[in-house]
Amino acid sequence: MKEIRDDAVVLRTYKSGESDRVVVLWTRNYGKVRVLAKGIRKTTSRLGGNLETLAHVNVDLVKTRGEFYIARHVAHRERLTTLRKSYARINAGYAVVEVMDAIPSDDVADEDIFELLTRVLLTLDDETYDPMLVPSSFYFKLLALDGSGPVVDVCVNCGRDVPLVAFDAEVGGTLCADCRSGTSISPNALQLIRRIMSGDLAAVLREESPAGAGEVMAIALDSIESHFGKQLRAARSTPPLSPPSPAR
């Protein structure tokens, strides 16, 4: 009987039978696991409140027959009270865990990805950070961890260090006027992506609606959807707070 004691984040839950739920967790050391939470939908359930989407928990799990684990004990690691008070923060969190759930990784651990995920939750729980660009930043950093980060310093096609005027998620980065495909990118949006990817993220997230944010959100979403080859519902339903800059 396989037992797991680990940190985990709840990616999503779904109904199973009359009163059970399946809880999809991303654990630090075992990657994605599915927990069958028996009786969790009864009002008396002890586990219910601790296994909500976005919860950062410590779990004791036991492997059952089949693909599921059973939860023996669940405790909160972080309460995330600021995150849970704001729809904008919760929606940003959903747009992040939806992408985590799209990663095809059962029983494959990647501690860097887990660290990135928990950092994102703490960022969303910090009221000094604006949540708007958090999912976009997460997508870029996740792609970078996977060795698929977009090229944004030169033309991804010809490699020249010339003015960059377009971004094409299929090609994987920015393009010059000669090679252009995909969508236009403004200097502001380009600058913003470079800041996000180069370690200036904390400063970016302290700015309210920085110039180019709408474009960056669209580009990040195109990039992550192109990577996984699927449309993301939660991410798409989070409207940009500022209109995208006009194409030029």
Footprint of Zn ion on this chain (CB under 5 A)?
155, 157-158, 176, 179
Torsion of CA 93, 121, 117, 230, to 10 degrees: 10
Residue 93 CB, shortest distance to Zn ion, in Å, is: 37
Q: What angle do CA 152, 135, 112 make, to 5 degrees?
A: 80
| Rounded least distance, CB 153 to Zn ion, Å | 13
Q: Between 16 and 184, whose beta carbon lies closer to Zn ion?
A: 184
Residue partners of 95: CB distance under 8 A and separation at least 6:
135, 232, 234, 235, 238
Least distance to Zn ion from the beta carbon of 156, Å?
A: 8
- Among residues 102 and 151, whose Cβ is nearest to Zn ion? 151
Residue with tokens 């660290």: 115
Question: Which is closer to Zn ion, CB of 13 or CB of 186?
Answer: 186
Nearer to Zn ion, 39 or 187 (CB): 187
Residue 235 amino acid letter: A
Alpha helices (runs of H) in the chain, residue ranges in sequence order: 81-84, 87-102, 111-124, 134-145, 187-197, 201-205, 213-228, 233-236
State the nearest-atom distance from the C-beta of 157 to Zn ion, in Å. 5
